[in-house]
Chains A and B, each alone.
Chain A
Amino acid sequence: MARTASPSADRDLKLLRRLLRAKDHMDAAPHEEWPVSRLARVSGTSEAYFARSFRDAFGIPPHRYLLTRRVERAAALLRDTDLPVTEIALQTGWNSLGTFGRTFRDVTGESPGALRQRMQAIPGQLEQVPHCFVRAAQRPDLRMAVSEKRRRTGDDKAGATETEVP
């Protein structure tokens, strides 16, 4: 037998692996309700033991971990879709728009609307850069015009929300 680990160390590893299962479940469905009783069942531990073990293992209490995952998903939807904020709040597991907005601000430091505006302005431009360069390389005559246009858009603060559609 090549195993040198002690039985207690082995038990601890198996516990960590089961706690990971609770984390995986929250990752897979962060919009669902995850009370400690449900998470403890997934991990095969007692409720009293679960919250403490989870925090020890992952450095964050399970409830807060779930909130960060929800906020992360909400931020992605705000950035990548045009869904109304209310719809995003519902889709990511909040029952009230007020709670969503408050929690979102607490976690990210800005409101859902402000984040949407900022994120949609930045990645839109970044996304265009490679395309612009590709096109510019293929059509040297347009190179200066494209870069000049981009420079103007960047300088023009009032037009920052405007994006170029290829």
Chain B
Amino acid sequence: MTQGIQVAGLYVHDQDEALQFYVDGLGFRVHTDARNGEYRWLTVQHPDQPDFQLGLFRPQAPTVDDATARGLLEAVAKGAMPPLVLVVADCQAAYQAMRARGVEFTQEPIARYGAVDASFRDPSGNGWKLVQAR
């Protein structure tokens, strides 16, 4: 077995919308989409990372109360959540392809510090850095 991080999750405002973004926009694959009543465990995977799942979770009862869920979603919508980094072989090419698929970029590719990086957000407000592998 491989030891290490298996799942890390994001809070999203709408799981259907997030699923469409991560699958159609970024090219991820669905790993698990399981429902239990109101609750939906939804994870996606980067095609090159079969050992890691990115969870697309909605903060909701009974995990958190309604007011807390609202506060968390507000923080996401205000762009206040921690940074995420997606590494690609060619930042410019990835930027063009993702933009053509409707991904909202907040910074075009810039060459600096000996690398190229761009920034985008998911529909909920989670911010990603798109970094070219060195």
Contact = CB atoms under 8 A, between A and B. Distances in A.
Interface of B: 13-15, 35, 38-40, 58, 60-61, 66, 69-70, 73-74, 77-79, 104, 106-108, 121, 123-125
11 contacts: A2-B15, A2-B40, A2-B60, A4-B61, A5-B70, A16-B74, A16-B78, A19-B78, A20-B77, A21-B104, A24-B79
A58 interface: yes
A127 to B, nearest CB: 14
B79 A28 contact: no
B31 to A, nearest CB: 18
Interface of A: 2-5, 9, 12-14, 16-17, 19-21, 23-24, 27-28, 57-58
Contact of B60 (A4, A21, A24): A4
A28 B106 contact: yes
Contacts of A13: 13, 73-74, 77
A9 to B, nearest CB: 6
Contacts of B106: 24, 27-28
Given A2-B38, A4-B38, 16 more contacts: A2-B15, A3-B14, A4-B60, A5-B70, A5-B73, A17-B13, A17-B77, A17-B123, A20-B79, A20-B121, A21-B104, A24-B79, A28-B106, A28-B108, A57-B78, A58-B78
A42 B14 CA distance: 22
A34 B73 CA distance: 27
Contacts of B124: 17
B15 A17 contact: no
Nearest to B123: A17
Given A2-B58, A24-B106, A16 B77 contact: yes
- Which 10 residue pairs are nearest across A and B when measured between Cβ atoms? A16-B77, A24-B106, A17-B77, A20-B79, A13-B77, A2-B38, A28-B107, A2-B40, A17-B125, A16-B78
Contacts of B61: 4
